[in-house]
A and B are shown apart, each in its own frame.
Chain A
């Protein structure tokens, strides 16, 4: 008896250590994720691995390569995640995924009570979503990648969480600057963190609220069932779950099991089926061995909680299995395949017949080098890395500018921020090459659009008021804006200024938008950047 208890303590102790390793890995991975959020924040030279989480993401990798029909070597790391899933299942979900960790930590007490009422068949939804993503990608569309969990979290962090945090820090600093005893501390923070952690300007994004609501909804779903997103919705989880059907090393239930159900109660994602629950456990030989309980490998996130919870030594352990796990009642069937295919094809048809393809919207200024719209849409993950790194916060997520098809892809909103003449960062953080990696001189020749002056609003044209801001700001060496006439005028108070009028030299303009951004008129600028026709402008040829 005593030996048995000791053995139980020993074996549980071992699993406890392993569980701590899992928790430590989760914390470390999340910390790295947060660090990388800042490593790619308004940096002209972002760290080369700022987008590493996307490069480990097999859903993003497969969909992009399928849609772009090219091998993207940057995504080779994604096969490490797939290989890992073959050996140890969905460790990505349970140990690494930042959204998975976040949802794991945000535990609602009432969730286990409600989880029983969520129909298990809902687990099929994630496979349908995965199928739709893949079918649409096969038809060169990546719109459904908005469902990628890493992209989802990064997008919300970029557009609302980081701007919010920066706002709070800046507000505290401003308050601190007004109170003598804290001035030293504020100065220290400014000296050490402005420019590396704290961004130079307050980032602002148009879709901030909407994207925050998306994340909030995903979090609130946790109240229905713990890690609702991971169980029922996540297409990346579905992909890894399918691979985990052939998982080699997995938790298995041995003969010592007395069907106490402790493991099933401990399981955060209800991935353990008990025979006592109504014969859901298939009486196959491998696994389960005892026929009392079974860990469903496609649902299991390898968190190890069940192994810690098991009171009987030897009842649960890790075993090598050669046969794929049996098909559960809630695993996808023919019907799900058909629904996914119809959804994917339907989405492709919907997008193909959208008006956005016929007439580009006026605001559709793409990042440098991404002027070929069809190529761009078949590569952009909607991950928002480019928007986060943009030093002027000018790259904004679309809502309708590019049609529903281009949802949450980046566009340059010049009135909010311009394309910095000294910056190539967006192309260097783009994980899929949707924005090409360009050298500085190369990028400076990429035409994003062309500036047009509204002479009915422009101060010197419309009101004879001296102003040369657009010409002053124009970064092109020979100036794409020229000043016409230069007369010295005298104001009523005796002070003098030059009056001259700006004129755009269209074939020098690269459409960077600094003129539109800096125009001192309130509201709409008197000079706006319109999309240029790539077939007319030199240097607009996108990289192949």
Chain B
């Protein structure tokens, strides 16, 4: 899995821009819309997919480099474009990790640019609406939404921040240890769910990545802790299946997670991992911490339930630099 040379990435992008409009009808539509100035800032490849990606979708894309927006767009383009996940008129929910109220530099909450770029892409792909929400564990949601910078970034991108209301959790059967467990009904009712965690260390699960991020979809975390956290996390993810997972590893938190608060615990990685398979994405992300998937028990639990692949050697992983 040698890194693709920079020139080829650019070459593919040029190819996509030229060929995309001809090869894909929807791409042609978009090219026209682009001329009309409807969404000039959106990379067409990120919407309709990279030409190479269209021929054979990779299991995962890993993109390193800045600017962050370009990084995210490249990751999505190489994965097949946002239209692979979001159909016109789709109701989209993006679930970042906004566990507490800290500014992005502390790496406790998902990078606002990553979230906002995904909002733009989803809207560009024709989503009827894009809502962004999380259930902060330790602070009032509005404060966390604002301080994390996600609220302003999302609203500027045309998405809506929604406060997760206690009135909208429903008990769903997730089986196993939990049986019936309350989950946020909107996340099950929407057409497309995009999981956008930030990679951090965690006392109970070693790391908190995509699988753990879905704990934000329940308002009964206590039961999960007492009944067996790792397996519970896998069970919640069995019911709540994200269509796309994008792990933000622009900055990662290597100590005092998940809430952080100390800049000395933050490492800059400028990396974004995108996949349809969250287990695979999480398995890959353990590498950023110098670990293997075995270090995070819930990844093994999810793999055993057949939720995804944790053996990286079995996956097509495309890596790019921007």
Among A190, A200, A475, A495, contact of B142 (Cβ-Cβ < 8 Å):
A200
Q: Are A190 and B260 in contact (CB under 8 A)?
A: no
The verdict on A224 contacting chain B, using a C-beta distance below 8 Å, is no
With contact pairs A466-B229, A495-B231 given, residues A423 and B297 touching in the complex (Cβ less than 8 Å) = no
- Chain B residue nearest to A201 in the complex (CB): B166
The verdict on A305 contacting chain B, using a C-beta distance below 8 Å, is no
Say how far A527's CB is from chain B's closest CB, in angstroms. Answer: 13
**Residues of B with C-beta under 8 A to A477:** 256, 260-262
Q: Are A495 and B297 in contact (CB under 8 A)?
A: yes
Report Cα–Cα, A420/B230, bound state, in Å: 28
Say how far A413's CB is from chain B's closest CB, in angstroms. Answer: 17
- Chain A residue nearest to B147 in the complex (CB): A422
With contact pairs A483-B203, A493-B231 given, residues A473 and B142 touching in the complex (Cβ less than 8 Å) = no
Q: Could you tell me which residues of chain A, from 172 to 215, have a CB within 8 Å of some CB in chain B? A: 173-174, 177, 186, 190-191, 194-195, 198, 200-202
Q: Are B203 and A475 in contact (CB under 8 A)?
A: no
**Residues of A with C-beta under 8 A to B167:** 170, 173-174, 177, 186, 190
The verdict on A136 contacting chain B, using a C-beta distance below 8 Å, is no
The verdict on A44 contacting chain B, using a C-beta distance below 8 Å, is yes
Report Cα–Cα, A467/B143, bound state, in Å: 27
With contact pairs A191-B160, A391-B140, A423-B139 given, residues A479 and B226 touching in the complex (Cβ less than 8 Å) = no
Q: How large is the interface on B (under 10, 10 to 19, 20 to 34, 35 or more residues)?
A: 35 or more
The verdict on B37 contacting chain A, using a C-beta distance below 8 Å, is no
Report Cα–Cα, A194/B142, bound state, in Å: 10
Report Cα–Cα, A459/B229, bound state, in Å: 13
With contact pairs A497-B230, A498-B205 given, residues A195 and B297 touching in the complex (Cβ less than 8 Å) = no
Q: Are A498 and B203 in contact (CB under 8 A)?
A: yes
**Residues of A with C-beta under 8 A to B223:** 520
Report Cα–Cα, A375/B234, bound state, in Å: 52
Report Cα–Cα, A190/B203, bound state, in Å: 34
Report Cα–Cα, A392/B137, bound state, in Å: 12
With contact pairs A194-B163, A483-B203 given, residues A496 and B297 touching in the complex (Cβ less than 8 Å) = yes
The verdict on A491 contacting chain B, using a C-beta distance below 8 Å, is yes
Q: Are A520 and B204 in contact (CB under 8 A)?
A: no
Among B203, B261, B297, contact of A488 (Cβ-Cβ < 8 Å):
B297
Report Cα–Cα, A177/B184, bound state, in Å: 12
Q: Are A472 and B202 in contact (CB under 8 A)?
A: yes
Q: Are B142 and A195 in contact (CB under 8 A)?
A: yes
The verdict on B5 contacting chain A, using a C-beta distance below 8 Å, is no
The verdict on A494 contacting chain B, using a C-beta distance below 8 Å, is yes
With contact pairs A472-B137, A520-B222 given, residues A478 and B228 touching in the complex (Cβ less than 8 Å) = no
A interface secondary structure, majority: loop
What mask results when residues 281 to 322 of chain B are scored 1 for a CB within 8 Å of chain A, else 0?
000000000000000010011001000000000000000000
The verdict on B268 contacting chain A, using a C-beta distance below 8 Å, is no
Report Cα–Cα, A476/B256, bound state, in Å: 9
**Residues of B with C-beta under 8 A to A11:** none
Q: Which residue, of B203, B229, B230, has the highest number of chain A Cβ atoms within 10 A?
A: B203
**Residues of B with C-beta under 8 A to A468:** 203-204, 225
Q: Are A514 and B138 in contact (CB under 8 A)?
A: yes
Q: Could you tell me which residues of chain B, from 210 to 249, have a CB within 8 Å of some CB in chain A? A: 221-223, 225-226, 228-231, 234
- Chain A residue nearest to B131 in the complex (CB): A191
**Residues of B with C-beta under 8 A to A474:** 259
The verdict on A409 contacting chain B, using a C-beta distance below 8 Å, is no
**Residues of B with C-beta under 8 A to A469:** 221-222, 225
The verdict on A421 contacting chain B, using a C-beta distance below 8 Å, is yes
- Chain B residue nearest to A420 in the complex (CB): B139
Q: Are B168 and A422 in contact (CB under 8 A)?
A: no
Q: Are B225 and A44 in contact (CB under 8 A)?
A: no
Q: Are A496 and B230 in contact (CB under 8 A)?
A: yes
The verdict on A500 contacting chain B, using a C-beta distance below 8 Å, is yes
The verdict on A541 contacting chain B, using a C-beta distance below 8 Å, is no
Report Cα–Cα, A493/B206, bound state, in Å: 20
Q: Are B141 and A500 in contact (CB under 8 A)?
A: no
What mask results when residues 509 to 524 of chain A are scored 1 for a CB within 8 Å of chain B, else 0?
0000010001010000
Report Cα–Cα, A479/B259, bound state, in Å: 9
**Residues of B with C-beta under 8 A to A495:** 228, 230-231, 234, 297, 300-301
Q: Are A190 and B101 in contact (CB under 8 A)?
A: no
Q: Are B137 and A473 in contact (CB under 8 A)?
A: yes
**Residues of A with C-beta under 8 A to B221:** 469, 518, 520
Among B101, B162, B301, contact of A421 (Cβ-Cβ < 8 Å):
B101
**Residues of A with C-beta under 8 A to B193:** none
Say how far A204's CB is from chain B's closest CB, in angstroms. Answer: 12
Given A198-B165, A422-B147, 11 other A-B residues pairs in contact with their CB atoms under 8 A = A42-B140, A420-B140, A466-B225, A468-B203, A472-B258, A477-B256, A477-B260, A478-B256, A478-B261, A478-B262, A494-B304
27 contacts between A and B (CB under 8 A): A173-B165, A173-B167, A177-B167, A190-B162, A194-B163, A200-B142, A202-B166, A420-B140, A420-B143, A421-B100, A422-B139, A465-B226, A466-B225, A466-B228, A469-B222, A472-B204, A473-B137, A475-B100, A475-B138, A475-B139, A477-B261, A493-B228, A495-B230, A495-B297, A497-B230, A498-B204, A520-B222
